[in-house]
């Protein structure tokens, strides 16, 4: 976490030179915290001038800073704070208020600008040690219920591929009813969706029985993602394309399944990264020279792709995530590298995460990152020490 020292602020604003104490003022700024603080954290006074508040605060060593707000009646309200707010809690500009700083040597803690890719990669790569959660070989990774993550194992006998479930804060393995022959898994609104080696998608509740629905796809489903706002499931298939199904509310049953044409026929489609607004998604193939393509939703509810929005990324891609800074994270299985792109096709940065046969990626709050490897490097959690600023 970064810290911004007062003197940086003070160098930008005039000192109050009337006294020898180096009080500072932030002009036209206020603090985005509610006024009804309890009396352990501050209090409010009404005065006829900001200087009167300054006198008042100077005689109370507990006051760390205060805001002075002008009213139309040419009187003032001062909010005294016993603590230093976060840098991000200061609101600029606010033309009827000033912030007075009473402790020149204390520091503003600043939240991290996680949309700064350089800083983000630095912080993530500092934490690549001691990340192991499981040493099973894994195929797919997805979000589960109750703060869990789901991962499908990759066995030499495919019928032994099973679902494992982990607590995403502790990494603890949580028991899940036995399920086998899986290639992919997803979870949405209390239902599990499984792509199996029998070339179908089954839907289950958390008891795993009975099966609620079975959709025959005649191809292997390699990835399952959800369009939550419109209650749809996207499934990436080897060879034939992208399945798009409606999810019947409450039951979770799949309905109206259609195929969005695959523009790389014959290749394995593992990577689907849904944009935050869910009006578009990116697709990547586990094959050389395919690039990352953008599919956009049309007003008539069909999905189309063309050369626009394409990301030039010729390496095989096994996963794609669009983060809330709208960056596209592309997982390269052969080089164990993640590349991060701006949606205008600019490469913003890349990092080698170590291990072998990198496969899937999940990004959680404050850029805690889960990755799977199709090797004994298994499942890893990388936990950078970040406190991310809200995205504007
Ligand atoms: C503060 O706001 C006033 C009135 O809008 C303006 O005249 C003044 O230049 C501003 N001061 C700073 C430091 O921005
Ligand atoms: C703070 O408020 C509580 C309840 O409102 C009161 O009992 C207490 O005396 C107050 N403390 C001070 C220092 O004013
Ligand atoms: C100052 O002005 C505000 C808003 O106009 C009013 O609510 C408040 O009672 C006034 N306080 C004093 C001490 O005059
Ligand atoms: C405040 O900082 C100044 C200059 O860095 C230093 O000389 C002084 O001792 C500090 N005061 C306190 C109370 O830490
Ligand atoms: C992004 O972070 C890097 C490394 O911490 C820093 O040098 C750079 O100034 C930051 N860029 C912006 C725009 O803040
Ligand atoms: C990783 O864990 C081992 C054993 O728990 C410990 O000795 C080592 O210092 C840790 N390394 C880092 C970089 O935290
Ligand atoms: C998830 O949490 C809810 C509420 O605590 C509980 O009813 C449910 O059984 C949990 N599901 C699983 C699979 O643990
Ligand atoms: C799953 O469905 C079965 C059959 O409808 C039901 O008996 C069971 O209670 C359900 N389990 C959960 C956790 O909802
Ligand atoms: C299936 O499609 C029909 C016709 O477009 C639509 O009316 C219906 O709501 C869809 N089913 C679901 C579960 O969305
Ligand atoms: C939907 O719209 C797209 C372009 O906006 C068009 O190419 C396509 O033919 C339309 N499909 C249907 C079924 O109307
Ligand atoms: C893409 O966006 C980045 C970051 O905003 C910018 O630096 C770059 O110039 C843009 N490139 C193009 C081709 O628009
Ligand atoms: C991000 O990290 C900070 C500092 O550890 C924590 O206070 C905050 O709750 C975290 N945010 C989320 C959404 O977990």
User: For residue 79, is pLDDT > 90?
Assistant: yes
Report if residue 390 sits inside a domain: no
Q: Tell me which of 9, 11, 13, 28 to substitute to probe ligand 1's pocket, judged by most ligand atoms within 8 Å of the beta carbon.
A: 28
Compute, in angstroms, the gap from residue 95 CA to the centroid of ligand 1. Answer: 7
Give the pLDDT confidence of 115-150 residue by residue, as tens digits: 999 999 999 999 999 999 999 999 999 999 999 999
Compute, in angstroms, the gap from residue 201 CA to the centroid of ligand 9. Answer: 19
**pLDDT value for 35:** 64
Report if residue 308 sits inside a domain: yes
Length of the chain, please?
A: 392
- Among 80, 61, 56, 67, CA closest to 27: 67
How open is the CA angle 187-335-233, to the nearest 5 degrees? 20
Identify whether residues 273 and 196 lie together within a single domain: yes
Q: Whose Cα sits closest to atom 2 in ligand 5?
A: 119
Give the pLDDT confidence of 194-222 residue by residue, as tens digits: 999 999 999 999 999 899 999 999 999 99
Residue predicted with more confidence, 104 or 151: 151
Identify whether residues 199 and 78 lie together within a single domain: no
Compute, in angstroms, the gap from residue 299 CA to the centroid of ligand 10. Answer: 8
Q: Which of 110, 129, 157 is the last residue of a domain?
A: 110
Ligand 3 pocket at CB < 6 A: 46, 71-73, 75
CA distance 10 to 23: 9
Q: Is the CB of 251 under 6 A from ligand 8?
A: no
Residues pairing with 379 in the sheet: 134, 372
**Number of separate domains in the chain:** 2
Q: Tell me which of 146, 148, 179, 191 to substitute to probe ligand 7's pocket, judged by most ligand atoms within 8 Å of the beta carbon.
A: 146
User: For residue 114, is pLDDT > 50?
Assistant: yes
CA distance 54 to 66: 8
How open is the CA angle 152-269-133, to the nearest 5 degrees? 25
- Residue span of the structural domain in which 352 resides: 117-382
CATH number at residue 32: 3.50.4.10
- Which ligand does the CA of 255 lie closest to? 9
Q: Whose Cα sits closest to atom 4 in ligand 3?
A: 71
Report if residue 230 sits inside a domain: yes
- Kindly provide the b/e burial profile for residues 51-78, where b requires at least 16 CB atoms within 10 angstroms of the residue's own CB: eebbeebeeeeebbbbbbbeeeeeebbb
Compute, in angstroms, the gap from residue 370 CA to the centroid of ligand 6. Answer: 19
Q: Whose Cα sits closest to atom 8 in ligand 1?
A: 28
Identify whether residues 103 and 139 lie together within a single domain: no
Residue 96: how many other CB atoms lie within 10 Å:
13
Identify whether residues 372 and 297 lie together within a single domain: yes
pTM of the complete model: 0.77
* Ligand 9 atom at shortest distance from the alpha carbon of 255: 13
Q: Which of 85, 110, 135 is the last residue of a domain?
A: 110
């Amino acid at each position: 976490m970064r810290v911004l020292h007062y003197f940086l602020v003070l160098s930008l604003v005039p000192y109050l030179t009337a006294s020898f104490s180096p009080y500072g003022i932030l002009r036209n700024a206020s603090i985005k915290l509610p006024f009804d603080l309890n009396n352990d954290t501050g209090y409010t006074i009404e005065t006829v001038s900001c200087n009167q508040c300054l006198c008042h605060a100077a005689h109370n060593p507990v006051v760390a800073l205060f805001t002075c707000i002008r009213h139309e009646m040419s009187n003032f309200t001062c909010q005294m704070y016993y603590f230093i707010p976060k840098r991000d809690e200061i609101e600029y500009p606010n033309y009827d208020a000033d912030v007075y700083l009473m402790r020149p040597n204390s520091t503003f803690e600043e939240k991290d600008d996680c949309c700064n890719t350089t800083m983000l990669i630095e912080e993530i790569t500092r934490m690549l040690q001691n990340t192991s959660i499981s040493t099973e070989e894994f195929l797919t990774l997805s979000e589960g219920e109750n703060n869990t993550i789901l991962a499908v194992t990759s066995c030499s006998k495919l019928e032994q591929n099973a679902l494992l479930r982990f607590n995403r804060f502790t990494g603890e393995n949580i028991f899940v009813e036995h399920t086998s022959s899986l290639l992919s898994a997803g979870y949405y609104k209390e239902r599990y969706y499984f792509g199996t080696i029998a070339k179908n998608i089954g839907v289950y509740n958390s008891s795993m029985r009975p099966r609620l629905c079975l959709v025959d796809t005649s191809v292997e489903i390699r990835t399952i993602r959800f369009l939550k706002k419109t209650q749809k499931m996207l499934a990436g298939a080897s060879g034939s394309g992208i399945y798009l199904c409606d999810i019947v509310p409450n039951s979770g049953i799949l309905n109206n399944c259609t195929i969005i044409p695959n523009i790389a026929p014959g290749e394995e489609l593992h990577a689907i990264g849904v944009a935050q607004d869910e009006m578009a998604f990116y697709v990547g193939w586990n094959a050389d020279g395919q690039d990352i393509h953008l599919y956009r939703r049309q007003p008539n509810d069909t999905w189309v792709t063309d050369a626009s929005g394409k990301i030039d990324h010729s390496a095989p891609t096994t996963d794609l995530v669009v983060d809330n800074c709208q960056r596209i994270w592309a997982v390269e299985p052969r080089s164990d590298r993640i590349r991060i792109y701006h949606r205008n096709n600019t490469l913003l940065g890349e990092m080698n995460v170590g291990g072998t046969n990198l496969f899937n990626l999940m990004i959680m709050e404050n850029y805690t990152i889960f990755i799977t490897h199709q090797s004994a490097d298994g499942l890893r959690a990388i936990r950078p020490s970040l406190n991310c600023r809200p995205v504007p």
